[in-house]
Structure 1
């Protein structure tokens, strides 16, 4: 209902401004009416709708080689695409509603009889609820993507001062979507990190993740497994030998009760990410070779 609340607020502000003009200079009201009867009326309606729509993220880094490894960038781009679609949907929806009102007001001139008017009235009654429900769904999709991007940045920031032992590659495109982070640990090899920004309590039943006892919007286990196999095969092509990939699903905001690995996937809160990775630490020639090839791996995954 955020959009409707914002819309009502904007209409109230507009009416209050009109009332203020009436109190200060009543003679100006005729000029205001004539303005709304011309181009200014539709323009004001569009402005009211646009201002009611949640705002876009403020900054968009330019596309350069330097920020090619930014955490959460593809998720931010997804949020931007959803935001544009949301704006178009909002403007079109309001335009349709205004058109319905105009048709009702000019029903006689258009030759619309009693049954037609009744149908239009029913449509006008139910249209705002349907429109608001769908628009709020789109708003939530944008919000979820933005939160996801922030969560990825939060995970990335953990390793900023640990570059001697950790090499992080962010935002890798795969056949199955995107891998949030691939982390090469000097003495442990390759970790695949899927970051989730959900709130609440995470539990597992029958090898399925539940958040607040509800299924999330995706099958996180399936998503992570597919990306793990993809990464394993890609790394073998890149450096010429089999690599064990340690997959971890990290929740940045949710409480995660102690959970045994599911199909080899650890599920943890962000506070326990480093501790979980430390458990797999072991110095051997394979891990040394992976570490020595980290720049080659980066170039291959980010090409």
Structure 2
């Protein structure tokens, strides 16, 4: 029964988790509020806060799991992709812990781990399945043939869906992080109040840069006529933007599922916490007779539990890496 210590530090969440024989015993996430004042993640500040949080997060994960550090059989960690300074903190800690305890190291691709978060718990998709992975930095449709046999069949050509939400929140004057606030206000608004264009991108790829521009011009023009336009119509604007982003994503996902004849459809990544997108996927699958899989909220955003489950399956394969490993800001899928 292998006991895995997992470390995640790819962006601004410091997370540690413990899993035993594939069962999650703890998942501790330390968030960073320092970036709120800057309206986005400041890489240098993120790496410094990771240094402050990494040891307490691991200690708490061990306590919550009721596991002694001497019981650990391997250390899994996010190697990339992500912010290099942030990754360096997690990789360095994992290497030091493994070296001190003479344990094997397991590197994990952050984006693959988001997909494998669906194997935490009992409700698991069947291979092959499709996974729409959406976050602030990535938007991908992944054909998942096995635990580590994945193929990106569609991806954004420019901006990610999460970035489109974050930029929209900035345009609306909302504080960072804006994604959860758009979700909150969208629940109170009319999603059909305003119509935003859907990019006409061939195949299974996405584009969100044009949508961001159209939202910017929409707010600019309406505010010029009525300075209180955003304040008076915030809920409807958020609902309409959220609906357009969700339909862009789900229309491509539906096309991919039909093209590849896949009936198990999964959602992953930070934006998978968005209520409109979750409900949209469930409605699409209900209409088509497909099976929808969405992780629990705590496994949607960056977390070490997804690193732990990926590390567990790599442990079973004996897929280890040496102490000469270095973080990769850009890591091939």
* TM-score between the two structures when normalised by the length of structure 2: 0.23
Q: RCO higher in 1 or 2 (8 Å CA, sep ≥ 6)?
A: 2
Query: Which structure's residues are more often helix, by fraction?
Result: 1
* TM-score between the two structures when normalised by the length of structure 1: 0.25
